[in-house]
């Protein structure tokens, strides 16, 4: 089968012909129809992600497709079922083996492209805003990187939860995408002062930050007393150092959120969240935004869309499995 594969340390990923894997105990084999890309894939290529596998491995964290087989003694969705799976790796290929207990059966109304773009982005934002920050109706939510893969879902979910949403992104086109997702106020990070604008709007109760760097520092200064700052990632490449005295004076909380980590110590947080999110999707309350769909042979180009920040929402690769 074809796979976008890293064969050894310090070798760039590329398309390789490798043997299709056979499912082991606790695994299912999937004919992969679509794979959603994430910023973490870029970090894995550089060996900088917290869960980077040891080479050789195939990139691609979240997939959707059709169950082909179950491993020995494994219970799970039946052969032929349409599912989405967060596997952490192995998705940029025509076939893959993944933990059967992570497979989610798709609603009939959800296509493979949307399914591959759904779990990490929506799951991260819902767990962050609901479980971690306890966002309340009427509070003000500031979303940084608001046109990106996770940021756009935070705008959408924050609005569904009854918050007033301030979306921050670079450029009019990206801000228009955030506006269509439900943002009440827009900040162009390339021309406007985040702190000044947020203060003029009455301050911020919750910050959703996948960016880090100067935007984190500006957002922290815009927080109201008892504000909660969600640290989701560091797309800017700058991991901010937090002055603890500022937290003390304004009674602020900074909370980290690694969605995949819950699968290791509290998987029910993820499964309960996905149950809610899929119900919202079936009710028509969530509309996944996929800006680019590319075939497997253009995986380099697909990842470059993330690296150069030219995408909005999600980028999906279709291996066209048979």
pLDDT digits (tens, 9 = 90+) for 57-80: 999 999 999 999 999 999 989 999
For the chain, residues classed under CATH 3.40.50.720 are 121-260
Give the model confidence (pLDDT) of 195-208 as tens digits. Answer: 999 999 999 999 99
Class of domain 2-118+288-318: alpha beta
State how far the Cα of 108 lies from the Cα of 111, in Å rounded to an integer: 8
Class of domain 121-260: alpha beta
**Helix or strand or coil: residue 220?**
helix
Structure tokens at 141: 């939510």
Q: Which residues pair with 207 in a beta bridge?
A: 142, 229
| pLDDT > 70? residue 322 | no
| pLDDT > 80? residue 144 | yes
User: What percentage of the chain has pLDDT greater than the value 90?
Assistant: 96
State how far the Cα of 74 lies from the Cα of 71, in Å rounded to an integer: 5
| pLDDT > 80? residue 321 | no
Q: Count how many residues are written for the chain.
A: 322
pLDDT for the residue numbered 194:
98
Expressed in angstroms, the distance from the first to the final Cα of the chain is 10
Q: Is the pTM of this model over 0.85?
A: yes
Q: Is 195 left (phi over 0), alpha (psi -120 to 50) or beta?
A: alpha
- Tokens 């993330």 -> residue: 306
Query: Does 56 sit behind a cis peptide bond, omega within 30 degrees of 0 on the bond before it?
Result: yes
Give 10's pLDDT tier (boundaries 50, 70, 90): confident
User: What's the rounded mean pLDDT across residues 234-253?
Assistant: 93
User: Measuring CA to CA, which residue among 31, 83, 59 is closest to residue 302?
Assistant: 59
For the chain, residues classed under CATH 3.90.180.10 are 2-118+288-318
User: What's the rounded mean pLDDT across residues 274-292?
Assistant: 95
3-state helix, strand, coil in the chain (%, to 5): 35, 25, 40
């Amino acid at each position: 089968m074809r796979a976008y594969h890293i064969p050894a340390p310090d070798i760039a990923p590329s398309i390789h012909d490798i043997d299709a894997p056979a499912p082991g105990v606790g695994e299912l084999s999937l004919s992969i129809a679509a794979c959603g890309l994430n910023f973490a894939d870029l970090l894995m290529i550089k060996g900088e992600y917290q869960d980077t596998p040891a080479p050789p491995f195939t990139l691609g964290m979240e997939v959707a497709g059709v169950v082909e087989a179950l491993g020995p003694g494994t219970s799970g969705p039946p052969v032929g079922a349409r599912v989405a799976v967060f596997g952490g790796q192995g998705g940029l290929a025509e076939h893959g083996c993944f933990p059967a207990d992570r497979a989610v059966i798709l609603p009939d109304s959800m296509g493979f492209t949307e399914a591959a773009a759904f779990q990490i982005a929506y799951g991260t934002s819902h767990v962050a805003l609901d479980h971690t920050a306890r966002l309340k109706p009427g509070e003000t939510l500031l979303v940084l990187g608001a046109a990106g893969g996770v940021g756009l879902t935070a705008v959408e979910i924050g609005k569904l939860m009854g918050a007033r949403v301030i979306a921050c992104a670079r450029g009019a086109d990206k801000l228009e995408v955030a506006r269509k997702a439900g943002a009440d106020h827009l900040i162009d990070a390339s021309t406007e002062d985040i702190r000044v604008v947020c203060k003029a709007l009455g301050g911020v109760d919750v910050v959703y930050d996948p960016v880090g760097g100067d935007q984190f520092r500006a957002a922290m200064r815009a927080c109201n007393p008892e504000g909660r700052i969600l640290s989701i990632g560091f797309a800017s490449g700058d991991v901010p150092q937090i002055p603890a005295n500022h937290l003390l004076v304004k009674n602020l909380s900074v909370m980290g959120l690694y969605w995949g980590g819950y699968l290791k110590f509290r998987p029910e947080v993820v499964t309960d969240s996905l149950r809610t999110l899929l119900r919202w999707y079936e009710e028509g309350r969530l509309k996944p935004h996929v800006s680019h769909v590319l075939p497997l042979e253009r995986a380099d180009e697909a990842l470059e869309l993330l690296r150069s920040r030219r995408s909005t929402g999600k980028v999906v690769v279709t291996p066209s499995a048979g």
